[in-house]
Every structure is written in structure tokens, then in C-alpha cells.
Chain A
Amino acid sequence: MGESESRRARDVCISGVGETRYTRWGGITDRNEFQLACEAVSRAAGDAGIATRELDGLVSFADAPGDMTVLALALGIENLTFSAMVWGGRGGSACGAVALAEAAVASGKATRVAVVRSLSQGRSRRYGRSFSARTHTNFNAPFGLFSPPQMLALAVQRYDHDWGLDRDALMEVALVCNAHAQSNPRAVMYGRALTAERYRASRPIAEPLRLHDCCLETDGACALVVTTARRARDAGAKPVPILAASQYGAKGWSTAYMGSQNVPSAEYGTGGQRELARRLYQQAGLTPAGIEVLQVYDHFTGMVPIALEEFGFCEPGQGGRYIRAGEIGMGGRTPMNTAGGSLAEAYVHGLNHVVEGVRQMRGESVNQVAGARTCLVTSGAGIMPTSGLILGVA
């Protein structure tokens, strides 16, 4: 039995998704991050047709604050048999957290695992601030390198040196994600259309990235429930099979662009996802040609062409051309970030990308790709672990 067949036999799926409202950072002041997390899990459980007390696993990532046991208490969980958080990785590990939940269900350690991420700055501040607690800060902050856009700008500049950066393609990424958000009432940018003129007039952040090349900072939470297809159906939910799920980190990357900067020279300027892609396609028994819709981690537009190349939708250096050919918009080869992504829906460290992938596979997206049966979801590139998922249709 090949790996893809054995995975199908395990039949692990996502049976429910939920989110709170999303606002610009600082926009939710009446509830804290913990309350938002509970609200998102409650909605995901409701969508999965179960009560929160029936959950028996909890997973998060990106250094989520707080104590899982308190979350289990608040949710009334009766039997907690699995609790885990992905080490490091930050936005790189959203799909990795789902992979952890999938592993728990596949191995029988748990039967219904909630994956959750909550971010709120109505009562705390993170946006635009330096991160004194970041590993390797000693080697960045004294030189004025503080924040993710500044750090990833270095990688994008190196890509520009190696391959030539198509700046109009970066604008197209921002415009496409924003256009998709205009159909999504949940999106922070809903009703706030971006134009080429506004993009070009936006202030520079860290060259070559402008304001509209950078993702949102959001208050809000989202969650999902991982279980078996049989349990999902028994609860009246529509299972979305996890065809592949993997974390990945290559030798020497570690904190990478978010810390040490010591990505191996030959790989500096990539996202470090090429081997992740190979493993995901192998697990699912698919090739890039078999992927019909994409949810690509869009922390910064400049990382999107790199991801499209590493996941095999085009040759190295051709990501910009693929984007400008219209292939990531509705009607393109692989419509991308159909709810708006991190650039225009919400920044929940990429877990909302998984939620949107589930909606696509259920046929319930605000920008539904007709008949789509496979969705690739990627998490943040350029850090260890990064991760990805391929979702399918039952």
C-alpha cells in the first residue's frame, strides 16, 4: 500500500470551521484573546455538529499565549487526551498545527481535535513593535532590524538579485487578494477596494516592500475541528478529507529570516518550501497539475511568486510571469486566496487560509471555484517549521 492509499484509509478530515468577526488590529476591545479563541472553537464545534465538551484534543501554534488546560476548562472538555503546540514556526506552522491534529486522530490518540489561533491587540500591542523576546534578537535589533516586513524584505531583495523581481506582479498579488475580499463580508478589507493608483502611492516600508505589500494585522480568531470521516458524518457534518499534511524544516534554517538570517547561501532568497511541496504531492498522490485552488500564505506579496515556484506551478524565476498572466485570479489556472488571504481577509497567522480551503472543498466559498476538488494550503515560508496541506472532496 502506498503512502497516499494508507492516508486515505485513515480517512482523517476537517469537519467544522469557525471564526469570530475580524477587525483591524486593536478593533476588538470588549473581549480578550482567550475569549475570542473560545468563541472560534465553539463555532467550529457547532459547524462540526458536536458540543465543545466532546472535543478531546487541542492544538495551537505561533507561540499562542495562555495555558491549554484553561482553554479545556472553559470549553467544558470532558476527556482531554491530546494537547500540543507546534514549536517555533509562527505563521509557518498553521498547516503544521493541522498536521499535528491529523496525526493525533490518525493514530487514535484523540478523536476530535480543535486547532485554534487567536490574535487581539485591543488589549495588548504587537503590531509595528520590535520583539525583544524573539530568538536571535541580539543580532538584529542593535542594527535596526526589528519587524517581519523588514526581515523578509532582505529575502525578497536577494530574490530580485538572483532572478529579477517583477514589481507589477507584487501589485497584482495585492490587487487580486483585495478583489477577492470584496465578495467576503468577513474580510477586514471588505468594502475597501484597492486600486493600482493607491498601491503605487502607498508608503515604502522596507524596500522593495510597500504598505500594500504587507499583510493586515487583525483582531480575531478562527478554529477548525479534525476528526475521522465516519465521525464527521455521524455528527451530520460534511467531511473535507486531508489528502496531505506536513511540517518541514531544512538543515540550517532554524529561525531563518525571522532571527538568525543564516539560511544556507544557495537557499537564501527562497522560501524553503520546495521539499515540503514534494512531500505533500507525494502524500496526496498528486502533482501541481492536479491542484485546482490555492490558499498561499501571503504575509508579504514578495513571498508569493517564490511560493508559486517552489510548489511547482511555474519554473524558478517565473512566479511573476505566472501571476501577471492572470493565473491566480478567478478564472485563472489556480485561483488564490479566494477569501482575501492575509493581505485582505484577516491575519490569523494563516489558519484562516485553512478555513477558506475547507469552504472551497465544501463548495461554500464566497468566490467558489466551480467543481474544485483539490486545494493546496501553504503556511509561512522562510522559517522552520514551515508547513502545508492538501485538502480534497469526500
Chain B
Amino acid sequence: MPYLPALAWAPSPDDDDAPFWERCNQRRLCFQRCDDCRFVVHPPLSVCPACQSTNRGWLEAPREAFVFAFTWIHTAADAAVEACTPYNVVLVAFEGLPDVKLISNVVDVQHGGLKTGDRLALVWEPGSEGQLLPRFRLA
């Protein structure tokens, strides 16, 4: 069972982020890296914020991930996740990528079982419409 119901929200990929979600479906968590100046940006953006290049490359996420911030949500704002409360939402940061933070969830953890700085390992879970979503477990 995925952490949140697979029928819940799917991304609607756009020009900026379609390559991100395509790679997720190959079980590859990648962040956009400028082919010209190597600046890494997330969420993906079709123009590099550092040099305004439109030559977009992709960098595999570092394996070392950790909890930068988190919350436990008790009041659902969408019917699709009402049965899941309390559930966690975690802002994940990655070693060596100071400009990247990724919203995700930590699976297999009890309410109260998270703290800032906890080490995380990537797992893949099915979302809706066949989209694989990057989630994490405590490392």
C-alpha cells in the first residue's frame, strides 16, 4: 500500500517539469542541471536561473538525503487523503545540493517518529495515472 492512496493527486506535467516525471517513471530521481553553467534548480524551470540558458540537463539525486523540515497533517485539505491523517509531509534536502529541496513523505514511520536531520533513503511508490512518486524511508 502506498503511503497516500494511489488514486490521489497526480502531477500534470508541463513544459518545465515533464522530464522530471518521465525520469521518475524510470525510477530515477533527477534534478535539472544547466548544461552550460551546471547550476542545479528545483522545481525544474525551462530557463536556468543562474545563466538564463535553455540547455537543460539532468543530474541523478545524491543518495544522501535528510529531513530539512516536516509536519504531521491532522486536518486533510482534500477528500482523497482524509482517511490517512495524521500523515507526514517532509521537506527533503540532499548533501551537496543547497538549492534543492523536495517535498515528499516518509513511509513506515509512526506519528512522532521524525526529527530534523534524520537520514533518508529513496523508495518508489505508485501514484495515480501510472506515475511513480519518489518517497523515502528512514535510513
Contact = CB atoms under 8 A, between A and B. Distances in A.
B69 A154 contact: yes
A179 to B, nearest CB: 25
Contacts of A198: none
A145 to B, nearest CB: 5
Given A158-B116, A207-B71, A139 B103 contact: yes
B77 A207 contact: no
B69 A142 contact: no
B71 A150 contact: yes
A206 B43 contact: no
A129 interface: yes
A394 interface: no
Is chain B's binding surface mostly helix, strand, loop or mixed? loop
A260 B43 CA distance: 6
B47 interface: no
A155 B99 contact: no
Interface string B71-111: 11111111001001011010101000011111111000000
B62 interface: no
Nearest to A154: B69
Contact of B71 (A138, A157, A203, A252): A157
What is the size category of the interface that chain B forms with chain A? Answer: 35 or more
Contacts of A140: 103
A149 B43 CA distance: 21
Interface in A138-170: 138-147, 149-150, 153-155, 157-158, 161
A207 B42 contact: no
Contacts of B71: 150, 153-154, 157, 206-208
Interface in B109-139: 116, 127, 131, 133, 135
Contacts of A211: 75
A142 B11 contact: yes
Contacts of A265: 68, 93, 98, 101
Interface string B1-15: 000100011111110
A138 B17 CA distance: 8
Nearest to A160: B116
Contacts of A268: 68-69, 91, 101
Contact of A157 (B12, B69, B103): B69
B74 A205 contact: yes
B70 interface: yes
B46 to A, nearest CB: 13
Contact of A155 (B41, B69, B133): B69
Interface string A207-232: 11001000000000000000000000
B133 A142 contact: yes
A272 to B, nearest CB: 15
Contact of B9 (A130, A203, A207, A252): A130
In the A-B complex, the 8 residue pairs with the closest CB atoms: A147-B77, A138-B11, A146-B77, A141-B9, A153-B71, A158-B69, A204-B74, A161-B116
Interface of A: 128-130, 136, 138-147, 149-150, 153-155, 157-158, 161, 203-208, 211, 252, 260-265, 268-269
21 contacts: A128-B75, A129-B78, A139-B11, A139-B17, A141-B11, A144-B76, A144-B78, A145-B73, A145-B89, A150-B89, A153-B73, A154-B69, A158-B116, A161-B69, A161-B116, A204-B74, A204-B86, A206-B89, A252-B49, A264-B98, A265-B93
